[in-house]
Amino acid sequence: MLPEWMVDAPPHLARDWHVSARPAGKRCMVVSSNGITISRLRNGTILHRFPSALPNGSKKGLSGPASSYSILDCIFHEPDETYYIVDMICWRGYSLYDCTAEFRFFWVNSKLTETSAGDPPSAYHRYRFSVVPMYESTLDGLQTAYSGSTPYVKDGLLFYNRHAHYQAGITPLTLVWKDNTCSQYLLDTDSEGQVPTEQHVVLELQEDGKLVTSDDPPIAFGSLDNEFIQKSNLRPGNLLRFSVRDESVKLVDGKMEIGELQLAGKLNRSRTFADSHSKVLFQYAARHAPLRIEDLVASVQSNSMEIESTDIEMQVIQG
């Protein structure tokens, strides 16, 4: 369940959303089954294969059918070698796909305490697991997630729609937002690790020459002709980095159109996905007119006033 990037506060932020401080690290799926635990990155590459205290996650303490499995959506935070759980998909073979986010958060907190997965590492428990605290998007919850201390390095705020069922891929029912206060990585960097003067975008080359995002369906930002593709020894599926001139960008009905792309280079194999449309739009907004924490606070306050007004009206009707 991958987040879109928040460029505008969603409706009913205070009523329908939860917020957490997102750990910096590698997003991965963790599966425990048959006495072993395996974590995989978004592209399917194995990050770690290890024993854990998750159900059937090691040879020690196998319970129930050995094939019974659990699946956790995590971020691996390397500084303290901890898997921070942001969501739960399955627990001891019980699927949570059709459960609301609010229930999944309750379930993962209650079930993890039944194990020793949160204990310090040991011979049968290589990495520690910890649940990322999730708060209601009230003023207090937003302030805690934004300014409160955490045992991990923050990389922005993660918002979940409390009614959302788990979905594979990118979804607007979970959103990520950041600024320079709650993240060290607000603006994307180039291949040298420096913030470029012009915005850079990463797009995937398709067979017809179109340059597209990772959205489903993908959004085309431009194209390359066959002659250039052949001369540059490019192939379909290649990820290419482009620089974008501000004057070539147009915003039409919330969509971003780019009139000119300047090829900046081909990416190495360590990255396997193009940017999403919302990420490109967020990066553009972050350079010119960013959504600020004050805007989120104002949205929460407005939502809270609407909720209070509705409650008063209901009391009057019932009275």
| CA-based nearest residue to 71, from 119, 107, 19, 102 | 107
Element (DSSP H or E) covering residue 88: strand 82-91
Query: Looking at residue 191, what is its pLDDT?
Result: 72
Query: Looking at residue 278, what is its pLDDT?
Result: 96
Residue 202 and residue 241 in contact, taking contact as beta carbons nearer than 8 Å: yes
Q: Tokens 């398709």 belong to which residue? A: 206
Residue by residue, pLDDT tens for the chain (319 residues) are 899 999 999 999 999 999 999 999 999 999 999 999 999 998 899 999 999 999 999 988 666 665 689 999 999 999 999 999 999 999 999 999 999 999 999 999 999 999 999 999 998 899 999 999 999 999 999 999 999 999 999 999 999 999 999 998 899 999 999 999 999 989 998 777 889 999 999 999 999 999 999 999 999 999 999 999 999 999 999 999 999 999 999 998 888 999 999 999 898 777 889 999 999 999 999 999 999 999 999 999 988 766 655 554 545 455 5
Q: How far apart are CA 119 and CA 302, in angstroms?
A: 42
Query: Looking at residue 317, what is its pLDDT?
Result: 53
Q: How far apart are CA 218 and CA 193, in angstroms?
A: 27
Q: Give the pair of three-digit tokens for residue 6.
A: 């928040």
| Domains along the sequence of the chain with CATH | 2-177 (3.30.470.30), 199-288 (2.40.50.140)
Query: Looking at residue 319, what is its pLDDT?
Result: 57
pTM here is: 0.90
Query: Looking at residue 306, what is its pLDDT?
Result: 65
Q: At what angle do helices 293-318 and 139-147 cross, to 10 degrees?
A: 160
Q: How many residues does the chain have?
A: 319
Query: Looking at residue 316, what is its pLDDT?
Result: 46
- What secondary structure letter does DSSP report for 55? T
Q: How far apart are CA 5 and CA 214, in angstroms?
A: 13
DSSP 165-224: PP-SSEEEEEEEE--TTTBS-SS---TTS---SSEEEEEEEPTTSEEE-SSSS--EEEE-
Q: How far apart are CA 281 and CA 51, in angstroms?
A: 41
